[in-house]
Structure 1
């Protein structure tokens, strides 16, 4: 009675190991929804399209080969014939490509012809094109080329001889590490036939789905793997293997930074750099965040030949940026870590040289009155606060743009606010410090992220503050995905800000003479009130980075910035990490039901910029003094100002409580206690917990700002 179902199951099961592999690969495939729909749309609407070549490109490890297999499944589902040529299997002979194409598209007659002696390359190409065209006359054909970076001189043969022979019912897919360049882009005709399909890292949701399928179900562990790999598919696969699930396997059972088959990953990135000379240059280029030929030459202490630099910038994981070139962030971190471990003295020398160069350029720019925001932002990425460094990891991935709000588009800003208020949701914000691997996680409740929006008088801010007061962040499709209001304080805005909820707390705390000094003409204003910096999805790293970068532009432009965000840890730690300090006497309860909210200030005007940079880089009095505060700068307070939560932790730490004891007493997690202890160590300029306990008085009074 049971034999028939078993036979039935046997019949339905894959017949070969290869078929079983294909099924398992399909089960493991996650994400790439846009790419799959893109390909399906091009395939099904091919007659309506001008383009006939889809160029799938992305740096190594992005899963391009796996994506091509999904393209095959889509083609089969729609009745199209699919042929794949792996250019690693082609030894520079056009006849090999032709033979592979014919073997995958052969009918009975063509199969017999394969037994005949090999034809000359030209004839073989004609025969392969004819075989494809016979099929294309009645159905669509997809011809895919994988690992196109290996094509070599066959690129010209394919472009000039083979592809032009193909029927218009053939869709060509070219996948490789690099976008098609050279003649493909220089020829207007070829340019119109090619459509680019770049592939990038997985989103957090896709990465979490993949990890769940790998058996990683512990959410903190999944978060750590995601933050350490930035969603890079190959790296995440290696990380999942390194964190193979076992009985009770969780984030707490693993070391602070996973060794994700580190050397294997380095070899993967450096496969494109076969000789030692180029590899040495890649190592050097991993130290600065951005570089150009002159800066790298200065870094290594010798001139770099133009031909060698050209080879460097043509690597698939090197991209052009506003300040020169930069490495893909995960490739940079991977190579940089290898450099630091293999050659620690040379790495330290290069890093110190990079920081000195940035320091000198910033100091010169301040002296000459030139903009130095780019250099200062890069310095913060090197030695700034860990939370700031964490925000910089994905910042270059953003293709969003800022649009000033005026009477012509103020309705768009109001529509953004209405949409945010109607679609409120909780956010779990995850990021990690690329230097140490330290994770940061913030829970931002739906109501918390909306408090500032409910108090935002957009039209009044635009009318009084001008078109620079409110800006919208738009994605490449033009949709508003963020909003920032930074209002200049001058004679036209002061009375309004001094009366408006939230902002009034700061101005009421000022003595009359300081308040009167703010009544300047708009052109002379150097004070800004940061009303809000909001994103519609705080879990997207590029949106958070966009907000941080806009704040940095104002901070590094030399201004007094005032802000009073809702009183929650995400906003509090974000402002403190950027160098803001609490303003005594400017607390308020204008955020209904949210408790007392502090007001923060940051002054970077004139020589205060150096003091600010020294503070946020932790370099004042440290082992590597990047900046020294000017002689006439105000001396620091006798005792660092701690946040309310840090004060509570400090009081128990000074009494000898362990981190676990403190966590239990204050109803917080042990990692959160560690985070507060680390922040206090930085503020006190100390190295360890023992030194901090000695520096704190046994019975510490509350120093809430």
Structure 2
């Protein structure tokens, strides 16, 4: 028909086609979902995909969404990086996308990326949310870690759960990816040998070569120092050196430092340059991902890029930090509610590497708890934990303030647990009446100090963090302390006309003094007070002398002032594909008694070796011998073991001599040897996927 135009109708169509061209492999995973969607009653309810960083989980989810659309289903995709790990926040996100119901007869496929960040919600998801979904709904969870044993302990989930461990690409798929990305065939073998099929590393190779060709150096070999075991770091460093311009490099550094990057952030941070063009360039990079709040690099790429800049150019890093922080602070101060909480999280993210502050956080439980509104049924648990840790007198004061509007009592909960695990209590002394202040020794001591050393003027605020504890850890680093620290930052960034801010709830003031001195809260011994025979320290900051903006500048100076060191550490775990793993086992058996060769085996970076001990030749050798001994335990047929024994464990001079010692024709010996090697590979591969 005249006037018809062929090709994609929208930019979304073009993006889809481009992704398909660059996507290779994962046929079994795609077919697993495709076959499930073809059934009226799917054989499973949850597909759990797990694998380490850079292995391609997010890319696979994108293609699984297309499989769902092709089958007439409706994919609904969430990224846990954009969610607060609480049931209300998760439900709100799902409901906003309609992921909790079927629509117009179409089956829903709910996909959740980066689900390791939802660890606080695992029990709630497994026991409450997922069972509440329509029976025809399929759920795909993708994260770095396999599902906890609780899933398989439940007979129902044992039947309705499918677990897929995502590995590196096998050689054929790795070559297909490189070809689709335009990498010259002459480089394929070299690249695959160095990257072991790691999808992120392969994509970075393509980016580095693209930058190289863009500079019209088609005839020269691209600079690919692929011999380093930290291949992703090496490639990223190389990529930085070949970006189109200084502004492109700066945009990449912004993206690595900030939690999320938008065009608005690029305009605010970069003094010149086209923010839209730079944003579009970032979107096209293989290691940059997109979310509802902006762009963000793959975690491995972020760590490498941010650490390298801090080490190589501290002054530039400091300037970048200050510019990004200034933009985020402005956003926090002009937002409210959940939006303000999210912006505060963006601010906290900037300080993740602070060497002084970090030891006062319980990083292993970070994000496992959240502050909530005070409910009538919280009263007794909070009073009970207060009496347990601080005595009945303090509990009576807490009960007193619970009934006063000047108090902000915040229970702290974890997902799936109604009873608080801790609480915090702040008092707005500028709102409290004199009789209320006089009734509490702590409030009275702080208020009198403020009046003596700079009484608040009309309209100015005086706050005191009067109560705090964790039910289990009391006043040591804990999930509750994590919450209190974050909420305190939000309080400072959102307060207006703040005069005095006091932290007066710690009994062991000596322990907390280094942290509070670091954040410019000075200990005021004359304001310390006693309740029930217990002494509480008081720390103060006068924000009229050093305002919030100046305080933030000071914190930035102290944050960035810490000396940075070049990145070090062991090479990351290697997730070999099944063919590459098998070949590595065969090579290690051949080199069993050669330490110099075993030292270069990729198996030293595998899970099965690292969980056994130090990644050294002796550990690998012991593991291979154990796998071989397992063959000998088969009383029905020990011929494969005997072939392995005389070939690798106690090797004869030649394989012909080994066959002669065993009294076997050479062809029979070779058959038994091949069976033995394959069984050793299977034994090790099972432990690689499932653990010891």
TM-score by length of 1: 0.43
Higher relative contact order (CA 8 A, sep 6+): 2
